[in-house]
Amino acid sequence: MADFLSAPTLVKLVTASRTQSLTGVGDFRPNLGEAWLVWGAQATSGGFSFTDGVNSINSSPDSGSATLITNSTYIHHSGSGVAVISAGLISEAQWIVSALVNGGADFRPPLGEAWIVTACNGGDFRLASAQGVAADSVPYRGLFNEKWDAPPNIPPSLDQNAMWPGLLLTNAVYLRNAAAAGTYGFVSAYKIPTTV
């Protein structure tokens, strides 16, 4: 029987929890070198976005999402009401990949790495490979995908372009933001240890 205890686990990597409430405009932003996994966020009047301080995506880390944020890509609350955000500190930030991806750019593991997407939102993310870019874009969900009907058959709190966790990306099969340059999308992922 395999010794599962020998493996690093995400649970072990989460070393502290943090809950913050904001009234009005404010950031939920990790310190330099930190990565936080957001468990949930709710606001009385909405107004969440992911931002790198310059570009932002109007989306929502609503309750139930699992979004990784760093000092460079973090959550901004612009609503006038009260927001509550809870997160876990991941000290081993080398396991984390989090980026705002410009239109035309790729979210692609280097050779030898494998990443599992925890969340993405905004942009026009599609699978890409040596065959090119997938004909259809997201919205898709990580687990059982169905193309959206109109209106989208999604939980009302989930943005249309949001994706549930789970895609396994490699250097050969990865995500491309097929939107025009200037249309950013957010992706977070964790690296899985692998012998390849």
Where do contacts with other proteins occur on this chain (CB under 8 A)? Answer: 2, 4-11, 114, 116-117, 127, 129-131, 134-136, 140-149, 153, 163-170, 172-173, 192-196
Smallest distance from other proteins to CB 152, Å: 10
Record the tokens describing residue 95, joined without a space.
Answer: 């396991």
C-beta closer to other proteins: residue 29 or 122: 122
For residue 43, the minimal CB distance to other proteins (Å) is 28
Can you tell me the distance from the alpha carbon of 165 to that of 178, in angstroms, rounded to the nearest whole number?
20
Rounded Cα–Cα distance for residues 88 and 61 (Å): 14
* Cα(57)–Cα(185) distance, integer angstroms: 7
What are the residues facing 55 on neighbouring strands? none
- Indicate the residue among 7 and 16 with the shorter CB distance to other proteins: 7
> How far apart (Å, rounded) are the C-alpha atoms in residues 31 and 19?
15
Tokens of 163: 């994706």
Quick one: 51 or 118, whose CB is closer to other proteins?
Answer: 118
For 59, other C-beta atoms within 10 Å of its C-beta total 23
Q: How far is the CB of 178 from other proteins (least distance, A)?
A: 13
Nearest distance, CB of residue 114 and other proteins, angstroms:
5
Cβ proximity to other proteins, 56 vs 137, nearer residue: 137
Q: Which of these, 86, 82, 45, 81, lies nearest to 65 by C-alpha position? A: 86
Q: How far is the CB of 45 from other proteins (least distance, A)?
A: 32
Q: Rank residues 10 and 89 by Cβ distance to other proteins and give the closer one.
A: 10
